[in-house]
Structure 1
């Protein structure tokens, strides 16, 4: 009889071996046993691991040793743990099988416990039970239902504070809002101020509308106020785009003092800010939005659900500047589409009101935190990020340039975004944005990160000089 034919509890423990003196700390030896059993195929994806107390008693060690081993195994993407269910193998299979992983698109990871599938399925069933198919099939009206506005106000309250529904716009993603604002507030040839590296959606919108992007110097704290003053004077620009919280792509978050300085320039110069804030709800330590420091004067505030909850919702809440009723923005949006899906808006409203949206964000934070720990374990080269951020921003070593590196990595089945994808003007930084949510699970992410790390350590000076 093979070990896998034994009773479930015996099978859970059969991968363990006696400790070997001089082979390192016991918790490391436990991880090595686990990893070798996965690589050999004895333990397979989905196999249950023994409860920590059971394994501690079996191996004759204290509980903290097992806890430390399980935590590190999770960091390496070998296992996943679920409250009330236990720990299960995430690795397994043939590590030499081809990969096809997209780490170029910034999306939130699916919670490891499958709760997104469960929540979406049960919510859809409830929606169809409560609403007729006709009610869920209509085009979006110019003004959202009052019940949805109340839900949006509730969602925005932690960031913005108490709001009336006046002027609040609900649209099909912040990209649509950015395009609509630029359409309404600029003419071809106008300048729009932004960071030197910025959100690619802004680059695309500006190109389509014939708008010139005017990069403003930044530092680790974000856009520099004196540089913004100078750019206002030199460019004649009336619009400024910023993503101050977990900046895409550099992952920096603008501190409160710098936000206040930027708010002061905005009000003094009379320019209008587009504050794009899609990552705020993933970060528990984000400073107040700039919109709160300007009193929402001269400020559009964009809060997308795509990056912190679920891209398929295609929903963003937009607060126009104080005193703006949002009608001009609504007209610009309607000129390009017939609005949001009634079905998705009903789902958004239900998830916010029931607390499911907050619960899912917390579960996404837990999964993102685990993936960030995995990145810290597998990537030895320095990078910028946040413990619950969706991506890392990594400067390439001198032997690589981004074109050669991203091409070589694609040949190994892993896609990442090079610095040229974010450059508003001038030379692109020799960096990579690695989005951790694109892998289906931590095991797949671990394999992709290992390939990135191995490639980073290769010396390609000769080939790199060819591409410079």
Structure 2
């Protein structure tokens, strides 16, 4: 198919889209490009659009495709018809000038899924089948039996059949991480992690007086030999400390040095690396040899394309596996499932959790359970997954050679040109009305990376996302000096 730039026509609009082969329906690509052009100012209110036949010729598509695209743009209130005078850009909606948020990892709205209807139907079914009073009272056992059974069903693609009694329902993954930290470690204990990672881990460690220690990683994730080296070094220090404590008759004695290992092996936040199977097996073997316990935080597994089995399958006695619904369904549910095989540790975990988050909200947990059992959760997740892939294709097209994403998941880890630093780029993007997250936010130690994380799901509308990515691409192409004149 000829591209727009191959057509010799002096009236060819600069905003005319490139139609990606895998970019979704062509009429939606055209509508998205129209919305992006309005958002970035390429098209202004009152501008006249080309006649539909001329647009079809430029894009080498049939007239019906362009008609559907214009109809979709009218539905979005981007265009208005003026009879024989043609089609014009309408006055922009207020949200077109709002900040384009590429900083928050949230699931994108899936095409063809009426979320309001899904919510109404789910809640209606919950209220038909459950006692309203029970949904509004305290639940102290880490979720009802049905909630834990739903969790077992949700985790089955990752971990195979599970006993529901081994699961705990939590109010989100952050609460689960914090409770595990409190239950399984003591103040001053070390938590091992990769150089770049989830900021919530660092925040909890700081609040609870635990120490983060970085273990080197490569393009496949944490290096097993460096992990074993860290374990051996820490065990040696522990033995010396234990002897010192025994001499002074201190009551507290550590039993599992170092405290914990934190891994996010699938579509890692922020690097988007999916750890291959051989690396997962090697890390599991090290953990078994060193009696090291692992928090496996795995929010993106079901969004990934053929992710390897979790680390928990290779070291089931060492791993506490966390799967949240926030990244593949919706953050509003605030439901995460934690696999804990040891009953005593489960009780310690619940005790720690109750110290700051008594329970997952019963209504939210019941809605998650309803959606899992009636198939709505899978349908919603598949819609999120497909929409995320469409957005990755868009990012690959717009960012061209700078794109280094995995093609799935919710984010891209973008390496910056040498003339930009992450903080500089984040400030310049903010001046352009774009929010991104610099690498420093994810640094677990003293080092960092010359990169930013771009989240593709936070902007509801695909056209506005394209506009944000295009603005970002323009920023990346020029050194900071080119923008100094715009600073006031």
TM-score scaled by length of structure 2 = 0.78
Give the equivalent residue in structure 2 for 1:408: 428
Displacement of 1:227: 0.6
Change over 3 Å in CA distance of 1:43–1:443 after alignment to 2: farther
Q: Work out the number of aligned pairs and report it.
A: 424
Matched, 1:239 2:238: no
Give the equivalent residue in structure 2 for 1:133: 132
Give the equivalent residue in structure 1 for 2:190: 191
Give the equivalent residue in structure 1 for 2:159: 160
Counterpart CA distance in 2 for 1:426 and 1:437 is: 30
Give the equivalent residue in structure 2 for 1:328: 348
Residues 98 and 412 of structure 1 are in contact (CA less than 8 Å); yes or no, is this contact kept in structure 2? no
Change over 3 Å in CA distance of 1:28–1:184 after alignment to 2: closer
Give the equivalent residue in structure 2 for 1:452: 472
Counterpart CA distance in 2 for 1:33 and 1:247 is: 33
Superposed, 1:87-166 pairs within 5 Å as 94=92, 98-166=97-165
Give the equivalent residue in structure 2 for 1:13: none
Deviations 1:270-303 (A, max 9, x none): 1001000000111131000000011x11110001
Residues 166 and 325 of structure 1 are in contact (CA less than 8 Å); yes or no, is this contact kept in structure 2? no
| More divergent stretch after superposition (349-358 vs 150-159) | 150-159
Give the counterpart of 1:254 among 255, 275, 279.
Answer: 275
Change over 3 Å in CA distance of 1:322–1:183 after alignment to 2: closer
Displacement of 1:432: 0.3
Displacement of 1:202: 0.2
Matched, 1:276 2:297: yes
Give the equivalent residue in structure 2 for 1:378: 398
Counterpart CA distance in 1 for 2:326 and 2:382 is: 15
Superposed, 1:433-448 pairs within 5 Å as 433-448=453-468
Change over 3 Å in CA distance of 1:291–1:79 after alignment to 2: farther
Matched residue SS, 2:213: strand
Matched residue SS, 2:134: coil
Displacement of 1:101: 2.2
Residues 113 and 380 of structure 2 are in contact (CA less than 8 Å); yes or no, is this contact kept in structure 1? no
Superposed, 1:296-445 pairs within 5 Å as 296-321=316-341, 326-445=346-465
Change over 3 Å in CA distance of 1:193–1:99 after alignment to 2: same
Give the equivalent residue in structure 1 for 2:312: 291
Matched residue SS, 2:355: helix
User: What CA RMSD, in Å, does the superposition of the two structures yield over aligned residues?
Assistant: 3.6
TM-score scaled by length of structure 1 = 0.81
Residues 175 and 357 of structure 2 are in contact (CA less than 8 Å); yes or no, is this contact kept in structure 1? no
Superposed, 1:21-100 pairs within 5 Å as 22=8, 39=43, 65=61, 94=92, 98-100=97-99
Counterpart CA distance in 2 for 1:405 and 1:60 is: 39
Deviations 1:340-360 (A, max 9, x none): 111101101100000000000
Displacement of 1:60: 9.2
Residues 299 and 327 of structure 2 are in contact (CA less than 8 Å); yes or no, is this contact kept in structure 1? yes
Counterpart CA distance in 1 for 2:47 and 2:393 is: 23
Matched residue SS, 1:166: helix
Counterpart CA distance in 1 for 2:259 and 2:71 is: 50
Residues 191 and 261 of structure 2 are in contact (CA less than 8 Å); yes or no, is this contact kept in structure 1? yes
Counterpart CA distance in 2 for 1:188 and 1:43 is: 64
> Which ranges in structure 2 are unaligned for 5 or more consecutive residues?
20-25, 80-90, 236-257
Matched residue SS, 1:231: helix
Change over 3 Å in CA distance of 1:150–1:87 after alignment to 2: farther
Counterpart CA distance in 1 for 2:452 and 2:7 is: 42
Counterpart CA distance in 1 for 2:119 and 2:369 is: 13
Counterpart CA distance in 2 for 1:308 and 1:214 is: 29
Change over 3 Å in CA distance of 1:233–1:66 after alignment to 2: farther
Change over 3 Å in CA distance of 1:305–1:340 after alignment to 2: same
Change over 3 Å in CA distance of 1:132–1:213 after alignment to 2: same
Residues 351 and 357 of structure 1 are in contact (CA less than 8 Å); yes or no, is this contact kept in structure 2? yes
Residues 193 and 262 of structure 2 are in contact (CA less than 8 Å); yes or no, is this contact kept in structure 1? yes
Matched residue SS, 1:123: helix
Counterpart CA distance in 2 for 1:375 and 1:282 is: 17
Displacement of 1:87: 12
Displacement of 1:109: 0.9
Counterpart CA distance in 1 for 2:369 and 2:203 is: 30
Residues 78 and 92 of structure 2 are in contact (CA less than 8 Å); yes or no, is this contact kept in structure 1? no
Counterpart CA distance in 1 for 2:17 and 2:480 is: 37
Change over 3 Å in CA distance of 1:20–1:182 after alignment to 2: closer
Counterpart CA distance in 2 for 1:60 and 1:243 is: 48
Counterpart CA distance in 2 for 1:408 and 1:249 is: 21
Displacement of 1:230: 0.9
Matched residue SS, 1:135: helix
